[in-house]
Amino acid sequence: MDIVVCIKRVPFTQEVDLEIDSGQRDIVKDGLAFVLNEWDNYALEEAISLKERLGGQVTVVSVGSEEDEEVLRRALAMGADRAIRVDAGNRTLDVRCISRILAKVVKDLPFDLILTGAQADDTNEGCVGVMLAEELGLPHASVVKGVEVLDKGLRIRVELEGGTEEISLIKLPALLTIQTGINEPRYVSVMGIRKAAKKELKVLALEELRLGSGSLEPDSSVERLFFPPEQGGAQMLTGDPATIAERILKILKEKGVIQ
């Protein structure tokens, strides 16, 4: 099974006190570390373990700068066979543009399945996967938590509201956006990443893709970035530990966190 995985490099923001820059449209990125988007990591693991079981090739694609090649190398170290980076220069792109760019690249690749993360850690839009499927006219499913390979397609488990799940069948070729927890992504050692530097990493300039001029015009843009004002909503529980534990359990059930 040939699989294409679309991945993205995002700021490593856990434990960081984020600051908003003077333009109020982005965060201050100086001094931040960058990592592979967590959801993409799961998508990648899913692709590679499918390949290990069924054979085929895994190609990873990312739209980004030279620095973003780091996550492609990590993907190669994890077991991907080929990596493609589309260099978009300094252009501001929205999810729609990104999906059009990816569609153009993926269209010419052999694939039975396309995987993306369900969302990205930075902008949390969760759009690119679905839009890419639309661009390519593929059946798709979002927030997938399980993949089982059948003769003529896949049986997939999709996460829905309130902790419910849905099992669906989907024909190939298809696109799935992957939810965290679907698998246990393997560790990629630093030495492994260095070794993967020898594998091919293809760089495409945006111009080479010959996209129509309208395709790269964003339909949406960020107006202002701000921290939400602090609000109430905290609930103080009192009583002995057993009572408190019981009430926490009840709340968690009500909110659909556990069943």
Partner 1 sequence: MYPKGAEVLFIPHWIFLMISLLSLGFFLRTIQKRIVPLRQAQKDPRFNHWRLRILGLLKDGFLQIRQPRYPFSGVVHLVIFWGFVVLGLRSLQLIFYGLGIPFINPFSTEGIWHFYAQLKDIFEVLVLIACVLSIIRRAVLMPSRYKGSHQFEAYLVLSLISFLMITDIALDVSHFALKNTPIETISSKITAGLFKAFSASQLRSVFNISFLLHLLTFFVFLNILPVSKHFHIITALPNVFFKKLAKGSIKPARYGIEELEDLEYLGIRKITDFTWKHILDFYSCTECGRCSDNCPANLSGRALSPKILTLKLREHLYSTYPVFRRPTQDSQIVGEIVGEEEIWSCTTCGACERECPVFIEYIDKIVDMRRYLVEQGENPSTFNQVFLNMEKTGNPFGRPGQKRTEWLLNLEGIQVRILKKGEEVDTLFFVDSYPSFDPRSQLIASAVAKGLSMAQVDFGILGPLERDSGHQVRRMGEEGLFQLLKEQNQKTFEAIRFQRIVTTDPHSFNTLKNDYQLKVPVYHYSEYFLELFKTGRLSKKGVPKGGRYTYHDPCYLGRHNGIYEAPREILEEILGVKLVEMKRSREKSFCCGGADVSLWHEVKEEERMAQKRIGMALEVGADRIVTACPFCLMHLEDAIKTMGLEGKIQVLDLMELIISVC
Residues forming contacts to partner 1 in the complex (CB under 8 A) are 12, 14-16, 31-35, 78, 184-195, 197-198
What tokens does 229 get? 């004002």
Sheet with 113-117, strands from edge to edge, namely: 165-171, 153-159, 140-150, 174-178, 113-117, 3-6, 58-63, 82-87, 201-205
Report the distance separating Cα 34 and Cα 31, nearest Å.
10
**Residue among 180, 183, 145, 149 at smallest CA distance from 164:** 145
Considering the complex, state which of residue 168 and residue 189 has its C-beta at the smaller distance from partner 1.
Answer: 189
* Smallest separation, CB 157 to partner 1 (Å): 21
Nearest to 40 by CA among 4, 16, 92: 4
Give the nearer residue to partner 1 in terms of CB position, either 164 or 189.
Answer: 189
Q: How far is the CB of 32 from partner 1 (least distance, A)?
A: 7
Quote the DSSP letter at residue 187. Answer: P
Contacts of residue 172, defined as CB under 8 A and 6 or more positions apart, other chains included, come to: 112, 113, 152, 153, 154
Q: Could you tell me whether strands 201-205 and 9-11 are parallel, antiparallel, or unpaired per DSSP bridges?
A: unpaired
Q: How far is the CB of 93 from partner 1 (least distance, A)?
A: 25
Nearer to partner 1, 18 or 248 (CB): 18
State the nearest-atom distance from the C-beta of 145 to partner 1, in Å.
18
Q: How far is the CB of 15 from partner 1 (least distance, A)?
A: 5
DSSP H helices, 80-147, are 95-107, 128-136
User: Residue 132 or residue 178: which is nearer to partner 1 going by CB?
Assistant: 178
Q: How far is the CB of 230 from partner 1 (least distance, A)?
A: 22
Whose Cβ is closer to partner 1: residue 191's or residue 234's? 191
Residue with Cβ nearer partner 1 (83 or 101): 83
Closest CA to 173 of 238, 99, 110: 110
